[in-house]
Copies of this chain bind each other. A is one copy, B any other.
Amino acid sequence: MGIKRVGRETYRPDSVYVTATGAVVGPKEGQGPLGGEFDRIWQDEIRNFSSFEKAEQGLLREAYEEAMGKAGRSWEDIDLVLGGDLLDQTISTNFAARDHTRPLAGVFSACATFTEAMGLGALLLGGGGLRRVLVSASSHHSTAERQFRFPLELGYQRPPTAAWTATAAGAAVLEREAGPIRVEAVTLGRVIDIGGKDPNDMGSAMAPAAYDTISRHLSNSGSSTKDYDAIFTGDLGHFGLKMLTRYAQERGLVFGSELDDCGRALYSQDDQDTHNGGSGPGCSASVFAGPLARRLTQGRLTRILLVATGALFSPTTFQQGETIPCIAHAVELVKAEEA
């Protein structure tokens, strides 16, 4: 038991595992290229809920159910729930906590929330005391649109760099006992603000934050991009991935085919009209909890770096002409037997 500090700001928790995950997504996400790798796909965005906000809470509760069921755990076994979402005052996570009534630590890093929760959870477990933690993040296209953008009914035209907030929730049970996936290392991100102001081009704004965290993680761990089967950023999307590749190359870090992005992977660019790709805390949460966790468990991947990215602005700061502070948190995950 314990946590080893590696380099300046990377931590290796001893014996922390992901024992089970749950990924529940909306219809558009289910129709995308990863559709076959989620646990549940909703047939519509609202179901029988009276509001989109309640639907998002329902989505999150189902992700909890899936993760808990697969882990074979009851809520009494969970010492702490660490999670967050995109809505003002993170109401999805807080309202879902009315049902599970386990100790709750709300976290917020915008679309980087899932790896913040997973990183903190792994460090808390590695330190001892806590035995099992549930981490989660969620988002819903329709709750985010009306909070951050315009009423859906307006049908405004989106620029090519705009992201599509995913209707998706992901959850993972982290434990100190053995499990199929081990949390190898954690690097929590710092705020990087290069002066981007366009909420319709968050991918470009977030790319330098992704670079900062990835380069620190690699340098601290003494590893290179080639040591990973996959490096999945959060919600950079098509434009952000190009920006990251060029930005890193200018600084001497060259990515190969291992680099991909949860937002890019979630939808088909050809026929789903999602422009830059998916975003929202549920995007990287569900892409990890569904496809990536599945591939690690099956051994199709043996070592990945998950680097969710977040744009930490609000409608108020946008209206006040502020730039967008960005952040990225990295969690390195390995297939347990390969460790």
Contact = CB atoms under 8 A, between A and B. Distances in A.
Given A51-B320, A120-B124, A126-B129, A104 B2 contact: no
Contacts of A106: 107-109, 116, 312
25 contacts: A1-B2, A3-B129, A3-B130, A9-B79, A87-B314, A87-B316, A88-B315, A89-B108, A89-B110, A89-B314, A90-B108, A91-B313, A94-B313, A94-B327, A95-B312, A97-B191, A101-B190, A105-B107, A105-B109, A105-B116, A105-B188, A106-B107, A106-B109, A106-B312, A107-B107
Interface in A292-337: 312-317, 320, 322, 325, 327
A251 interface: no
A107 to B, nearest CB: 6
Contacts of A101: 190-192
B97 A325 contact: yes
Given A106-B108, A124-B124, A127-B2, A97 B315 contact: no
A316 B91 contact: yes
A322 B95 contact: yes
A196 to B, nearest CB: 12
Nearest to A187: B103
Interface residues of A, number: 62
A234 interface: no
A11 interface: yes
A158 interface: no
A310 to B, nearest CB: 9
A198 to B, nearest CB: 17
A53 B317 contact: yes
A313 B123 contact: no
A289 interface: no
The residue in A129, A313, A317 that gathers the most chain B C-beta atoms within 10 A of its C-beta is A129
A187 to B, nearest CB: 8
Interface in A167-203: 187-193
Given A89-B312, A123-B130, 8 more contacts: A2-B128, A5-B129, A89-B110, A94-B313, A104-B191, A105-B116, A105-B119, A106-B109
Interface of A: 1-5, 9, 11, 13, 51, 53-54, 79-80, 84, 87-91, 94-95, 97-98, 101-110, 116, 119-120, 123-124, 126-131, 147, 187-193, 312-317, 320, 322, 325, 327
A84 B315 CA distance: 18
Given A3-B127, A188-B80, A325-B98, A120 B103 contact: no
A248 B327 CA distance: 43
A244 to B, nearest CB: 19
A137 to B, nearest CB: 13
Contacts of A322: 95
Nearest to A84: B108
Contact of A130 (B11, B79, B193, B325): B11
Smallest CB-CB A-B distances: 6 pairs: A127-B127, A3-B129, A94-B312, A89-B314, A97-B191, A103-B188
A326 B110 CA distance: 22
A265 to B, nearest CB: 25
Contacts of A327: 94, 97, 104
